[in-house]
Amino acid sequence: MNEIGIRVRQASMEDVHAVAVLFDAYRVFYERSSDPAAAAAFVHERLALRESVILIAERANGEAVGFTQLYPMFSSVRMRRLFVLNDLYVAESGRKQGAGRLLLEAAADHARRTGAVGLELATAVDNRAAKSVYEAMGWTLDTEFDHYAYTV
């Protein structure tokens, strides 16, 4: 536990419900329809299959206030593992208290501990609040590559 009363730890199967509530709110933030059952199934599957690492931020009383989800991938050029920080969400009750920063620090620590070369993330172009936190923490905007998406 730190001075702001929030700790971050790796989520386990016992945390599926708490993470799913936050994950559903995250999806709503990105203008998707709320679907608690599907959110719980998605989180459960990621954890059960060990396809992602989920870090959860919680208060001393166990209240979950945020999460981040990391997906492993590899850089062929660097011949090393890296993680895509795909999801980062802090509930209203945890905002402006450092929970987001703690989650980012824990993600970087996890990457270091596992020998990864780094982390990558994408955020909405107009998400100024998140961008200011990322930049203040040393994240840099990629100006070397254009990223494309293809929907199938």
The pLDDT score that the predictor gives to residue 110 is 97
Measured distance CA(100)–CA(114) in Å, rounded: 21
Which residue, among 59, 72, 52, has the nearest Cα to 11 in the 3D structure?
Answer: 52
Mapped onto helix, strand or coil, the DSSP state of residue 104 is: helix
User: Which residue's structure tokens are 């450092």?
Assistant: 98
The pLDDT score that the predictor gives to residue 10 is 98
Q: Which residues pair with 7 in a beta bridge?
A: 58
Which are the contacts of 25, defined by CB distance < 8 A and separation ≥ 6? 89, 91
The pLDDT score that the predictor gives to residue 94 is 87
The pLDDT score that the predictor gives to residue 63 is 94
Q: Which domains does the chain have, with CATH numbers?
A: 6-136 (3.40.630.30)
- Kindly give the confidence (pLDDT) of every residue in the chain, 152 residues in length, as a single tens digit, with 9 standing for 90 and above: 555 689 999 999 999 999 999 999 999 999 999 999 999 999 999 999 999 999 999 999 999 999 999 999 999 999 999 999 999 999 998 888 899 999 999 999 999 999 999 999 998 889 898 899 999 999 999 888 888 889 99
Give pTM, 2 decimals.
0.92
Q: Tokens representing 23?
A: 């994950």
Q: What is the DSSP string of 10-78?
A: E--GGGHHHHHHHHHHHHHHTTPPP-HHHHHHHHHHHHHTT--EEEEEEETT--EEEEEEEEEEEETTT
The pLDDT score that the predictor gives to residue 2 is 58
The pLDDT score that the predictor gives to residue 148 is 86
Other Cβ atoms closer than 10 A to 134 = 19
